[in-house]
Amino acid sequence: MARWRSLGKRVAIARVIGVEGSGPRDIGATMAVSESGEVSGSVSGGCVEGAVVTEALKIMGITSMPGVDLSFATGDLGDINQEAIGCPIVQTFGYSDDEAFAVGLTCGGTLHILIDPDLPEFYDELEQNLLDERSFVWVTVSSINPAEVGEYRVNNLSSEGRDAFSLSGNLPELGASMLVYPDGSHTSSLGRDDLDQVVIRDSLGALSVGRTDMRHYGRNGQARHQEIGVVFEVFAPPPKMIIFGAVDFTAALTRVAKILGYRVTVCDARPIFATPARFPSADEVVVDWPDRFLDKILDTLSERDAICVLTHDPKFDIPAIQKALQSKVGYIGAMGSRRTHAERSERLLATGISVEVLKERVMSPIGLDIAARTPEETAISICAEIISKRTGRSVRSLSETQGSIHDGNQVN
């Protein structure tokens, strides 16, 4: 996108603002389309990208592109509703829609995609926030219910669920957005002070749990109203994984954790083993005692983070687990055989930690029971267990269950 903008090209942004059923991507998935037909990102993993590109080009007023390969796009660029040019639109794809099926959305879910022909006025600030890994919420008006908000004019672009809204009253526009920060400060506005204040409050709540969400309000921010839909897209620094023990399993776990988006720290009290050369995938390699290092960073850890104790040595394991239990991390795992686990549990119980706390918070022996033997297999079993604990899902094969793949409504 930086290159497109440096060349003076217009850029449209398509974002998933609603998912029903088993959608291929979550709310917040984003794709950028340049006025010359270049694409970056994805809103469906390949299912409906072509149709979205076509709509993005249309609302930028692009009627033809001689010499440009748009074979991946779906639809006729010349079929443009003139009133929609320059306006955000919402496009819906569902399994039952003939066009949606034709372009590939066969997963059985429904996607609602907001396509905006212009970048937000604060885009430079948003981009810098991402580069700085700063926590913030990108709030966007994703829907207006025309039956309840009479001041809006609705232009039906087609009979296939695409609507463009234009403002004729002092109300939020479709696509209006703002940035909200952890201290309550914000950039831009949705158009009404009363709505802004409620949205800022709810943004802080979304930040606290680190979860993108969608809510509906009345025009003045009233709860339990359906006039205005708002998406809260949460951006937070990468989750942290702290791995204790400079061993071969750690090297493999570091590589897998990085693929999953973790910021990985490897810590070991032995300087001869804890070197960046041995763990090139780690973001940080620290020489320190595990409990002492944890004490320094305890307040920075959250439920999104994980602690993996792979030292397999009581003089490191016990203090590390004791200190880890004082944190808010969502996952604590400790490596070892059944015998090691039993002996370690006895030592921890002797320190005053209850049986209930150990069972609830310490995953030991670490990892899922998939008969992992190599460091790489063990790393996958550990990360799979972390995902399972975070989502609250069972570890059975999908082929043995029924129900939605992407949410918690699984049926055995």
pLDDT band at 66 (very low <50, low <70, confident <90, very high): low
Residue 351, in any domain of the structure:
yes
Average pLDDT over residues 39-57: 84
Residue 216, in any domain of the structure:
yes
What was the pLDDT predicted at 145?
78
263 and 164 in one domain?
A: no
Average pLDDT over residues 306-324: 94
- Contacts (Cβ under 8 Å, ≥6 apart) of 273: 246, 247
Q: Which of 107-111, 160-164, 354-358, 393-397 has the lowest mean pLDDT?
A: 160-164
Q: What is the pLDDT of residues 104-160, one digit of tens each?
A: 555 567 888 999 988 888 989 998 998 888 999 999 998 887 555 444 434 433 434
Average pLDDT over residues 26-55: 85
Identify the residue with better confidence: 408 or 185.
Answer: 185
Residue 169 reports pLDDT greater than 60:
no
386 and 244 in one domain?
A: yes
What was the pLDDT predicted at 237?
85
210 and 336 in one domain?
A: no
384 and 244 in one domain?
A: yes
Residue 38, in any domain of the structure:
yes
Q: Are 140 and 16 in contact (CB under 8 A)?
A: no
Domain span including residue 49? 2-116
What was the pLDDT predicted at 43?
86
| Pairwise CA distance, residues 248 & 232, whole Å | 41
Q: How confident is the prediction for the chain on average, in pLDDT?
A: 83
Residue 316 reports pLDDT greater than 50:
yes
Domain termination site, one of 217, 235, 253: 235
Residue 13, in any domain of the structure:
yes
**Number of domains into which the chain is organized:** 3
Residue 21 reports pLDDT greater than 80:
no
Residue 218 reports pLDDT greater than 90:
no
Residue 410, in any domain of the structure:
no
Q: What does the DSSP assignment read for 68-129?
A: ---TT--S-TT---GGGTTS-EEEEEETT-HHHHHTT--SS-EEEEEEESS--TTHHHHHHH
Residue 179, in any domain of the structure:
yes
191 and 285 in one domain?
A: no
136 and 112 in one domain?
A: no
Q: Which residues of 269-308 are buried (b: 16+ CB within 10 A; e: fewer)?
A: beeebbeeebbeebbebbbbbbbebbeeeeeebbebbbbb
230 and 107 in one domain?
A: no
| Pairwise CA distance, residues 61 & 78, whole Å | 9
Closest to 254 (Cα-Cα) out of 356, 379, 149, 135 = 379
Residue 134 corresponds to which amino acid?
R
Residue 242 reports pLDDT greater than 70:
yes
CB neighbourhood size of 366 (10 A)? 23
Q: Are 193 and 221 in contact (CB under 8 A)?
A: no
Best mean pLDDT range from 22-26, 52-56, 285-289: 285-289
Domain termination site, one of 184, 216, 235: 235
Residue 5 reports pLDDT greater than 70:
yes
107 and 10 in one domain?
A: yes
245 and 209 in one domain?
A: no
What was the pLDDT predicted at 368?
92
What was the pLDDT predicted at 107?
56
Domain termination site, one of 235, 259, 275: 235
Residue 399, in any domain of the structure:
no
Average pLDDT over residues 25-33: 87
Predicted structure pTM score:
0.68
385 and 253 in one domain?
A: yes
Residue 250 reports pLDDT greater than 50:
yes
Q: What is the pLDDT of residues 259-299, one digit of tens each?
A: 999 999 999 999 999 999 999 999 999 999 999 999 999 99
pLDDT band at 209 (very low <50, low <70, confident <90, very high): confident
Residue 397, in any domain of the structure:
no
187 and 67 in one domain?
A: no
What was the pLDDT predicted at 227?
85
Which residues, in sequence order, are bridge partners of residue 263? 240
Q: What is the CATH number of the domain that holds 291?
A: 3.40.50.720
Q: Which of 137-151, 161-175, 237-251, 343-357 has the lowest mean pLDDT?
A: 161-175
Q: What is the pLDDT of residues 318-352, one digit of tens each?
A: 999 999 999 999 999 999 988 999 999 999 999 99
Average pLDDT over residues 32-48: 85
pLDDT band at 207 (very low <50, low <70, confident <90, very high): confident
pLDDT band at 100 (very low <50, low <70, confident <90, very high): very low
What was the pLDDT predicted at 284?
97
271 and 377 in one domain?
A: yes
Q: Which of 42-46, 212-216, 328-332, 347-351 has the lowest mean pLDDT?
A: 42-46
